[in-house]
Every structure is written in C-alpha cells, then in structure tokens.
Chains A and B, each alone.
Chain A
Amino acid sequence: MADITAPAYRIIPIIPALKPGAMEGKGPFVAGDKINEAIGFPAHLVDDWHDKAIEKMGELLSKYRSLRVFMDACVHCGACSDKCHYFIGTQDPKNMPVARQDLFRSVYRRYFTLPGKLFPKLVGARDLTREVLDEWYNYFHQCSECRRCSVFCPYGIDTAEVTMAAREILDSVGYGQKYSNEIIGKVHKIGNNLGLPPAALINTLEGLEEDVKEDTGFDVRFPIDVKGAEVLLITPSADFFAEPHIDSLIGYAKVFHATGTSWTLSSMSSEAGNFGMFIGNYDQLRKIALRIREAALELGVRRIVIGECGHAWRVAYSFLNTLTGAGDGADANDRFAQMLQKQLDHRYKQPSHICEFTWDMIEDERLSFDKSKNDQHIITFHDSCNVARGSGMGNLPGGQFEIPRNIIRAVANHFVEMAPNTTREQTFCCGGGGGLLTDDLLELRIKGALPRMEVLQQVVDEQGVNFMATICAICKAQFTKVMPVYGFDRRMVGGVHQLVSNAIVLGKNK
C-alpha cells in the first residue's frame, strides 16, 4: 500500500480525459460468511442471485420514490459528469455519476421497461450477468454517497440513492462489503463501530478526566450512564480514542462543564455513526438508530445532542424523527413517537448538533474564550458532505454552514475560506465517506482526496493556512491518513471543538 502516490495537482483544474478501466477490480474486500450471517444477510453469493436481485430491485422500486423517478428521469445531459471527486481523481469514466447510475439503470431498463425488453441495444439495457454484478460491486463501492452530483442535476437525481439501492441488492444476495457489514455487526454486539466494550470505555473516560485535570486544573467530568442527566451526548466512537477526534470530545466536555450543563454518554448507545445508511438497508438503519431512542428513554434525558460526525448528523437531523420519534411534531395518536417526544424539552431542536449547542451558549454569553490561544493556527473549514448537503442547523437555511464558521470565528482570530466552488453545498468529499474508510480502498481514497487537496494547497500557499477544521469523524480519519501522501502534516486536520477546547476559559462559568 505504501507505493500508492498522490496524483498530480491539475495546473488549471480542467476536466480530466477519460481512462476507461482505470479502477476496474479495485473494489473493497467482500464480506465473509460469519460477518454476513451475524447481521442476517445470506452468508455468501446465493445460487439464484440473478432472480433474487431482480426481485429485490422491483421491491426497492416500489418502496422508494427517489429510485423510481431517478431511474426514468435521467436524460444523459452530463451536468454531473465532472462533479465527482472519484472521477476527478481516478479518471475512470464509470466513476462519473451518470455512468455509475447507468450500471444500475441499464439493468432496470432491461427488466422493468418496455423499450429495454424490446430493444436493449438501442436504449443501453443489459442483462444482469455475473460480470455486471461484479461491476456493481466494484463501482458502487467507489461512491461515497456524498450527493455532490445531486446539487447540479436538473432533476435532482441523487446517485447516493442509487448506490444505496445497489448495495442493498448486493447484500440481499450475499455479496456485501466486509468493512461496512463487520462494523454493523459490532454496533449490534457491543454498542459502537469500533467494538469498544463498556469497561474499556469507562476506563478511557476516567483517563481523560485525569488528563484534563492535569492540563487545566479543573474537574471536567466525562459522565456515562447517568440517569436524569439533561443532555444525552451521542458521538462517533472514534472520539473516544482516535487522534485528533479525542480533542473534540474534550472540547464538548469543557463546553458542558463551563455552562454547568448536566450531561451523559451511554455505554449501550456509544455510537453516533450509522452504517445502515451506507448500505441502504432501512431495517439496519432503523435498528441502529433505535439504540439512541432506547438510551434516551432509559436515562430519561431532556435533550439529545450529536457530536462531530457527518453522516451521523444526516441520520440524526433528517431521519431520526422518522426512525425513532426523536424530534417534534408527531401526531397526537402516534404513541411510539409521543412516548419519547413527551420526555424531550422542545425549547430546543431535537436532536441538536453539538455546534448548535455551543453556538447557542456563545450567543447567550455563557462561554468566554481566549482567542489568542488559537493564534498559532491559520484556520480553514472543510464542509463535510453529509452535513453540507443532507442536513441543516439552527433555524435558518444554510445554518449548517454558518454555525460552525461562527464558532471558529468566536474562538480564533485567523479564519480563511477555501475556493467557493469547493465549499458549502458544493464541497468535495474527503474521499473516505460512505463506508469506504478502509485500507483495502486506500488507492481510491488517496485519489478521491485530490480536489480537496488542490484547494487546500492554494490557501496554504497564498494565506499560510496550517489548520483545516472539520466536524466529521470520517473526514478526520481520512485526512490524517491521506494528507501525508500529499505532503501535508497529518496534524493539520482537527475538529471545531478542538479549537473550542484550546480557547475556552473554564474558570468563568456562570
């Protein structure tokens, strides 16, 4: 793996020439029998995979309007064709969003449309052969479901929906991905993606309390399983021990400490991430999300707050109310949702992002900062795809862009933006999202980071940027891994609450 080098920056960021087949056969490891069986999927590719796959496709078409409409609506206009970071980085034409969708659409046309049944060649329809299935496996695991293409599509076609459907079909015939399915198994068995058992978790948190005491002189607590706490914090499990994630966890704890907020983690639900979304499986998505509901009910908390994790925030913001009732506005006779909604404090948005929590406290003047503590940093902000394109924050549209930036400006003196066509809703994926943050996809991850690295290099050269803040555990892990390949220091990347942690004044809490 060490021999993978970074692709060269494009001098003028022009659209690359096509290199057909460049990423053929570069998909991730296939899930083994035990991993699949543990989460209720067929152990390996079933004998009647062809019929099962087509049957599943029909089922998904009847359950998801998105898929149904997206299959018909594409006119091959090419608006999306140069928008995917994996296409830009690999030049493989099948990584163009439209071409990726067409791997699926061609099969849809063959089995579900009249012209495809009558004149397959004419409309680009294909039988579902083993080669096509392998191609699906390969290229639908080269999409991070970041939805950048969807911003530009005149019909709003979202490749993530197609990728999710394809992965769901692959799983249903026993042809799933090792990395994602293994992680889902761990969540069910242990409670988090990393397989960190409760005893180890408690141990880690105690260690953190000592570290922070030593560092600051204050008794900042990291409570866990505290019944009756006001806030339940659900955060990605990487925050418990990975660098730089842990510095943001310390930041959240300091914010809670400084504002006198009673809060708790949950050992049963110690994971914000939800890989059920990545594999497009509604049951898994729901089952994993229900752990949050269970913890909230059991601990009797009044607020649910989510830590720095991109896709977790999409699931929390956009889906959690639907999946678990954790939100507002359920029907009066919706007993399932009402049970939880009656418990929650609706003066606040439910669930809230930790950035919403912190920004509210800053606006209420309940936090004070020594901004000079961040003076060694010239900071830029990388919008994470799921936060940027699949969620919101606060009350206003675009809050998911403003609030993290407002926090950075409140805690630091030097903040600069990267090129505008690569931030906010047009942000580029870090290259490791959507269940692709695994070493068997390292080449893809390095190449997929290219567009972000190019514009980072620009602000490094022109404005001396030496810190890229982000609010996603996957972005943090991906960048620490691939940035050295591009010649950057891995410590350049960190969380927004890491900056909060640096500057917060603990002695002045009101």
Chain B
Amino acid sequence: MSILFAILFYLATLLFVVGLIHRIRIYAVTPAPLKIPTTPAPKTATGVMLRMTREVVFFESLFKANLWTWGLGWMFHASLALVLLRHLRYFTDPVWGWVAFIQPFGLYAGITLLLGLSGLWARRLLVERIRYISTPSDHLMLLLLICIAASGLMMKFAVHTDVIAVKEFFRGLMHFSIGSLPADAPLVLHLFLVFVLLVIFPFSKLLHAPGVFFSPTRNQTDNPREKRHLSSWAAKSEN
C-alpha cells in the first residue's frame, strides 16, 4: 500500500511537472504576430504588470462579467490557495512560521472551498446557458475537486487521521525513502484523487492557470505605433 502510493506520488508529480513545462514551453515559443490587447490596454510594461496582477489575483474581467460567477469562482480559488499553503506543513520541518500562522484560516478555507465548488456546480446545473455549454468533463472536474475537499475535511472532522505519520511518509518521499502510510479510507481516497488531479492538469482545461499569463489580449503593451512589433515568421515575408 505504502509502496503503491509512493510510486503514484512520484509518477503523478513527474507527469504534472513535465507535462506543464512542455505546455508552457509551447505557449512561450508560439509567436504572437500582431498586437491584439483588449481595451483597457495599458501603454507601459508596468501597466501590463498591474493589469495581470488584478486579473490573476482579483479576476477583474470576470468581475465585470457576472457577479455570481465571480463571487463563487473567487471564493473557490482563494480558498484553494489557502488550503494548498496550509498543506505545506506536510513537507516542511520545522514548519515555517507563516505556514503555522495560516493553519486555522486554511481550515475554514476548506469549508469555503467546498461552498464555492458547490455553488459553481449548482450554476452549471441550473442556469440554462451554462448547462448548454458544459461537457461531461466539466461536471467530473467539479466532482473530483469536491471529493478531494470533502475527503480532506473528513480527516479533520469525522475520521481522524494520524497526520504526524502522514507527514513522516511525505518527508520520507522527499528524500526517496518510503515509510509507511496510515491506511485510512479518507486519506487513501484523498491522496488518490489528488494524484488524478495532478495527472490530468497538463491535459485539461486546468491549463487556464498557466494560460492566462500568456494571453496576448491581456499581456501585451498597447504601443503598436511607437514600437514596431514583428514576429519571426512575419519578418520572413519582408525579404
């Protein structure tokens, strides 16, 4: 059991990292031949950095689009960020001060995470337009995340898991030694689903996370008249 999960851990992490790097490399090397920033487009690099920050941290465009989707989506993502940071304690020893500090917040975030996801799923099921555009994978993705969150919360609130042992197991894996993992059902489910999530990340719509940084309508500087912008393949047509 422990060996199986150790193998899954390494495999999933490897696929996640390699797959993501591969994908990001494709985004980075594909040229953007024309200037296509969408208004309001900043005219300076600093302006673009601020715009990207607002977009990534506060979901500025989504805020303009739909308050419900924005509220639920932001609650989910912010909660997820806190929960992920909270999990750093399983990989650090001694636990960093700020990670220790956010532990209680991370716990509440687990609950708001679940709320956000449920709200998003309700929207996907109940709003006619959103139901129309949803594919089976859209629903399954939400189900997967809900199961991860629920199994995680169960370990805290229902079937207590020996988290010290879990930490030892993962600290061991970080040094390529395989210890023993407590064989609790919620833990096994939780870890297995996280591995699934890691594996599908580089092949699915979860690529919106790296993708947003490469979106030309958001990351381009609006200075086409001041500076000539020429991509490699477009330059060739001039000879």
Contacts and interface: CB of A to CB of B under 8 A. Distances in A.
Interface of A: 15, 17-18, 61-66, 68-70, 72-83, 93, 96, 98-99, 102, 113-115, 121-124, 147, 150-158, 161, 282-283, 286, 317-322, 325, 327-331, 334, 336-337, 349-351, 388-390, 392, 397-398, 400, 424-426
A329 B226 contact: yes
Nearest to B23: A72
B32 A73 contact: no
Contacts of A322: 33-35, 224, 228-230, 234
Most chain B CB neighbours (cut-off 10 Å) among A62, A66, A82, A317: A66
Contacts of A154: 55, 59, 61-62, 65, 73, 208, 212
Given A114-B203, A156-B38, A336-B238, A321 B228 contact: yes
Given A70-B215, A397-B222, 5 more contacts: A65-B214, A72-B211, A151-B39, A152-B61, A336-B238
Contacts of B59: 154
A151 B211 contact: no
Contacts of A334: 228, 230
Nearest to A336: B238
Interface residues of B, number: 65
Contacts of A77: 62, 69, 73
Contacts of A99: 132-133
Interface stretch (B99-107, B134-142, B156-164, B169-177): B134-142
A264 B128 CA distance: 55
Contacts of B189: none
Nearest to B137: A123
A83 B34 contact: no
Contacts of A74: 205, 208
Contacts of B66: 78-79, 152
B91 interface: no
Interface string B46-62: 01000000010001011
A390 to B, nearest CB: 7
Given A76-B130, A82-B129, A318-B224, A64 B32 contact: yes
Nearest to B238: A336
Nearest to A392: B222
B36 A397 contact: no
B208 A72 contact: yes
A161 B31 CA distance: 14
Contacts of B133: 76, 78, 81, 93, 96, 98-99, 102
Nearest to B218: A156
B233 A63 contact: yes
B4 interface: no
B132 A152 contact: no
Interface string B117-134: 000000100011110111
17 contacts: A17-B128, A65-B216, A72-B23, A74-B208, A76-B135, A78-B129, A81-B133, A113-B203, A124-B136, A152-B66, A154-B65, A154-B73, A155-B215, A317-B224, A322-B33, A397-B42, A426-B64
B41 interface: yes
Interface string B217-236: 11000111111111001100
B1 interface: no
B43 A124 contact: no
Nearest to B224: A318
A19 to B, nearest CB: 11
A317 B135 contact: no
A81 B131 CA distance: 11
B200 to A, nearest CB: 8
The 4 closest A-B CB pairs, nearest first, are A73-B211, A124-B135, A152-B65, A79-B65
Given A80-B65, A115-B204, A425 B39 contact: yes
B40 interface: yes
Interface in B172-213: 200, 203-205, 207-208, 211-212
B27 interface: yes
A93 B132 contact: yes
The listed residue with most A CB atoms (<10 A of its CB), out of B73, B128, B133, is B133
A293 B214 CA distance: 32
Contacts of B41: 392, 397
Contacts of B215: 66, 69-70, 73, 155-157
A177 B62 CA distance: 34
B134 to A, nearest CB: 6
Contacts of B64: 151-152, 426
Most B C-beta atoms less than 10 A away, residue of A15, A79, A317, A327 = A79
B55 A81 contact: no
Contacts of B26: 68
Contacts of B130: 76, 78, 81
A61 B31 CA distance: 10
Contacts of B73: 77, 154
Given A122-B137, A123-B135, A158-B36, A350 B225 contact: yes
Contact of B224 (A147, A327, A424): A327
Which residue of A64, A154, A282 has the most chain B CB atoms within 10 A of its CB atom? Answer: A154
B31 A65 contact: yes
B237 A122 contact: no
Contacts of A82: 129
B104 to A, nearest CB: 30
A330 B229 CA distance: 8
